[in-house]
Structure 1
């Protein structure tokens, strides 16, 4: 069995997708271009309709006169067909029988239409026609002729739908790419750990350099902070030792010398 015979059997075809088109006319133009090429096996081509949709076209609003007229037209056609059959089987019958069958058909179908409309009145007061419509149409060919078919399709002049312009795709696939995340803002100045000072306010280790390197603009702030009364320290102050008297040793020597000098 040939590849073409296997390709056109029942079920969805398996082959190379040559293009996806929005209307059937575009797909038909591509197939016509392939059929016009010499030496190309047209049996390997298949048109596939995607996403069948049911479309109902509203024709007109229904009313009793409109329903009666439509029933009379259908009855006339039905009566004429019955009268023609009777005339064929009985040619000697008068032509009046044909007219009577037409009138009888009009009356019967008119009565049926009016009664059915009166029963369903308020639920469907319009006439319509339904049809199945495909959203897009794919032109598919057998893998054995895919290379030659692509070359011919590119010369047909019919533009195929791109992948991002596919009307059968979901909303998420059609959405534009999300914008990149906003870069994180730089963090604020690094907070230095608080100094642990002694109860009297002096630094525990060394000399505090920040206080000496502050600009002049911060001087009023430092002066204001120094003017504020400091809280008394909770630790008791050690009593200061009395200053040593440097003249006590000389006075003692003078007292020793004076008794020796007295007569």
Structure 2
């Protein structure tokens, strides 16, 4: 772990259910001239959440491959057209677009065929913390606890 994320004998100053609450506590400490450079906000109790966004079919896979390939082909065609004369601009961009679509369809089909129907859905994944702990160097623990005890509307588990 890089030095910037290291504390000397870290102690828990409080545990919060939401990141915004942990951030608010550190902001309160800062407003009261606490040395907040000695604090860390650590997300704990991590969970992986996967949101299913749709069903995959051959037509959706091939269409998605064609679209992503078209963007790649367009980019390559535009880059290549920089080094040619202006009369062949549209033909080079068009060929790049066509090859990109073909490449995109083939690569998407190969990827989908490799799953053999074991994952016929699309999704997005995210890792989220369910708790946020504010850690502080041991020498500042008592002062931090004293300040947080005075925080209006405190939402901290000490």
TM-score normalised to the size of structure 2? 0.79
Query: What's the CA shift string for 1:122-165, capped at 9, x where partnerless?
Result: 21101112222223110011122223322333315341247xxx
| Aligned ranges 1:28-43 → 2 under 5 Å | 28-35=23-30, 37=31, 39-43=33-37
The whole-number CA distance in structure 1 between the counterparts of 2:36 and 2:108 is 49
Unaligned runs of 5+ in 2: none
The whole-number CA distance in structure 2 between the counterparts of 1:81 and 1:14 is 52
Give structure 1 regions of 4+ aligned residues with deviation exceeding 6 angstroms.
none
The whole-number CA distance in structure 2 between the counterparts of 1:13 and 1:85 is 52
- Pair member with larger Rg: 1
Q: Indicate if the aligned counterparts of 1:83 and 1:101 stay in contact, CA closer than 8 A.
A: yes
Larger strand fraction of residues:
2
- Equivalent residue number for residue 248 of structure 1: none
The whole-number CA distance in structure 2 between the counterparts of 1:20 and 1:27 is 8
Q: Check 1:159–1:71 CA distance in 2 against 1; reply closer, same or farther (3 A cut).
A: same
- Equivalent residue number for residue 99 of structure 1: 94
- Equivalent residue number for residue 81 of structure 1: 75
| Aligned ranges 1:166-245 → 2 under 5 Å | none
Shift in Å at residue 7 of structure 1? 7.8
The whole-number CA distance in structure 2 between the counterparts of 1:19 and 1:29 is 12
SS at match of 2:116: coil
Q: Does 1:14 align with 2:6?
A: no
SS at match of 2:156: coil
Paired positions, count: 153
SS at match of 2:155: coil
The whole-number CA distance in structure 2 between the counterparts of 1:127 and 1:13 is 44
Q: Does 1:143 align with 2:138?
A: yes
Unaligned runs of 5+ in 1: 1-5, 163-263
The whole-number CA distance in structure 1 between the counterparts of 2:4 and 2:96 is 53
Q: Indicate if the aligned counterparts of 1:7 and 1:14 stay in contact, CA closer than 8 A.
A: no
| Aligned ranges 1:55-70 → 2 under 5 Å | 55-70=49-64
- Equivalent residue number for residue 45 of structure 1: 39
The whole-number CA distance in structure 2 between the counterparts of 1:64 and 1:160 is 51
The whole-number CA distance in structure 1 between the counterparts of 2:100 and 2:8 is 49
Aligned Cα root-mean-square deviation (Å): 2.5
